[in-house]
Amino acid sequence: MKSKELLHTILFFVGLAALLFLLRQFVFTPVVVKGHSMDPTLADGERVIALKNTEIKRFDIVTFPAPDEPKKNYIKRVIGLPGDTIEYKNDVLYINDKEVKEPYLDEFKAEVTDGLPLTLDFTLSEVTGEKKVPEGEYFVMGDNRRNSKDGRMIGFINKDKISGDVKFVLWPLNRFGTI
C-alpha cells in the first residue's frame, strides 16, 4: 500500500514539474529588472512576469534580447507600432502627427527640476533614418528617458525578438500585482 502511495506522489510531482516546464516554455517567463531605464514604473531588482505569445499594443512593456549586448535582456515600453511616425517636441509625444498623452510619465516629469525636458526633441527619421516604423518592427523607449538605451540608440525591435509582454510584478511584495 505504501509503495502505491509513494508512486502516486512521485507521479504527481513529475506531472506538476512537467506542467510548470510547459507553462514556462510557452506561456510566461520570469524576468529580473536590471538598471534604471524604466524608473519609476519598474525599479532595479524587481521581479516581473512577462507573458509570451500576446498581441503587442502601444505602451505595453516588453522584454527582448539586447541587440547590442549579448547575454543581456532589455525591458522597454512600446511607443511606435508598424507604420507609425513618431516625434517628440517640447516633451510631448506625437504619433502620426497627433499628440498622445503619456500618463505613466507624469510622476517622473514632476520630479524634473533642472528646466530641461524629460524627453529631448527628436523625430523617428533623425534617430533611425526611417520615416515610419517598418512592418514587423516596434520602436521602444525606457520610461526614464534621460537614462535609457532604447530605440533612439538601438533602432527598431523585430516582433520575433520580443520575449514577452510584462504584465505582473512578483517582487517586492509591496508592488505585487499587475502593471
Catalytic residues: 37, 76
Which CA distances in Å does 136 have to 37, 56, 156?
A: 24, 11, 10
Q: Does a cis peptide bond (omega within 30 degrees of 0) precede residue 40?
A: yes
Given a contact cutoff of 8 angstroms between Cβ atoms, the answer to whether 50 and 62 are in contact is: yes
Distance of CA 150 to the CA centre of its chain: 11
C-alpha cell at 125: 527619421
